[in-house]
Every structure is written in structure tokens, then in C-alpha cells.
Amino acid sequence: MESFLDKKGWKLDFILNTHEHSDHTSGNQGLVRRYGCTVYSHPGGIGKIPHATHPVQKGNKILSSAKEYLEILDTPGHTFCHVCILLVENQKPTAIFTGDTLFNAGVGNCLRGGDPTILAKTILEQFYPLEEEILLYPGHDYLETNLKFTLSLNPSNQDAIDALEECSRLPKNIEFLTTNLGKERRINTFLQCDHPSSELLKNVSIKISPKRLLDQNPTELFILIRSLRDKW
């Protein structure tokens, strides 16, 4: 971060942490020391996140100009102090920065202070309605692993097969595949819980314990898929 800013000749005015986990916040101390920047976070992150002093809440707009702004979304599940950031340009959402809530072809786990039922509610209620053209920028690149998990449940998913092939051609840790929510709805099983294929339902029902037939309850299916991903 510092070398990038130095190269550009920029200074850092503020940091917005999506949540409190140290892999997202460990750089705060050095950056605050050097730049004197302000750290923003979910209200619940104040006292947990190093140097976080300014809370942001659902609906807050930051870096607002005549044509664009960033809107804060309250997105609990991975943790209870998680926010995502929606970029709106010319009154139209164009990109979303999702931290550890939504990944390419996956979602965050709930093993360190989260709850899969709450995460399901967040994804179903806040991400399912978003426009397909919105670009997705998650906090980690787990695409290759997540696509392999998708294909373990839905092996005939041609979109996932194609994406995995495309991903394998990219230089490791140098280039990353950027998707939009339309593509995600085709390759991400967690975004298919309201219209699962028969193949997906069958394979989830086989892999869960005890084995049983599933109805098409989106929340239940989401939680079951998340539990399978935890063990995969």
C-alpha cells in the first residue's frame, strides 16, 4: 500500500475496514502512524479494529460528488461487524466491494464470530436483488477453489467449467478474473438457492448427514451448502 501511494505521489486520508479480522486490519497501525489517516468501520468494530474511531452505518454515503458516491451496506454473517461498499455512478450501482461476505463463486465462512443463518439472510435479501451488471470486488481471491467446490455439487455447470479454465490460464497472484453479479449467479451455488438445479439439490442431499430429500427452501439450502463448504 505505501509503495503504491508513494509511486502515485498520493497521501492517505482514511481507511474503511469492512470488518474486524486481522488480515484486513493489521496494516492500520503503520498507515495511521505515517499518514495520520482516519479509520472508519462498522459501529461494532470500534474498540476491536486498530485505530477505528469513526463508525459508518447502513445508508451512509462517503466520497460523495455530483455524479458518484460510495454507499455503506450493513452485511452481517461472516461477522456481526461487517459492512460492504456499493459504488453508485450517475445514480446507478456499478460495483460492490464485499470484503469477506461474498466471494467469486462463494461466500465467507462463519467460523470466527459469524452465523450462517444471518449470512444467508444478508445474501438473500441484499445481494439477490442487485443488478447483474454490478462488478464484484471481494476481499480475497478464492475463485479457483470455489469453482472446484461448485463443480463438486454441480458438475454439469458449463459456466463454472469455462470460468475454471479461464482462471487456470491467468498468472498466479498477478492477474485476477473480475466478474459481475450476472456471471456470479451462474457460477456461485450460494446465489442459486432460490432456483437450484435438480443436480445441485440431488448432490447436496447425498452429501449431507443424514441423507434426505430437500425442499426448495433457499435459506435451508444456503446453510447446508455453507456447511459442506466448511468441510470440503
DSSP letters along 163-211, please? HHHHHHTSPTTT-----BHHHHHHH-GGG-TTS--HHHHHHHHHHSSS-
Cα 221 to Cα 45, 68, 124: the distances in Å are: 30, 36, 11
Res. 143 pLDDT band, cuts 50 70 90: very high
Cα 56 to Cα 35, 48, 59, 127: the distances in Å are: 21, 15, 9, 20
pLDDT tens-digit series, residues 182-191: 999 999 999 9
Q: What pLDDT was estimated at residue 50?
A: 97
Does the pLDDT of residue 48 top 90, yes or no?
Answer: yes
Q: What pLDDT was estimated at residue 174?
A: 67
Q: What pLDDT was estimated at residue 214?
A: 78
Q: Which domains does the chain have, with CATH numbers?
A: 1-56 (no CATH), 57-231 (3.60.15.10)
For the chain, the average pLDDT equals: 95
Q: What pLDDT was estimated at residue 134?
A: 99
What is the rounded distance in angstroms from the CA atom of residue 25 to the CA atom of residue 32?
11
More confident residue, 197 or 168: 197
pLDDT tens-digit series, residues 172-222: 776 788 999 999 999 999 999 999 999 999 999 999 887 777 777 999 999
Please state the separation of Cα 157 from the chain's center in Å.
Answer: 21
Residue whose entry in the numeric block shows the C-alpha cell 462488478: 135
pLDDT tens-digit series, residues 115-136: 999 999 999 999 999 999 999 9
- Count Cβ atoms below 10 Å from residue 140 Cβ, excluding itself: 14
Q: What pLDDT was estimated at residue 86?
A: 99
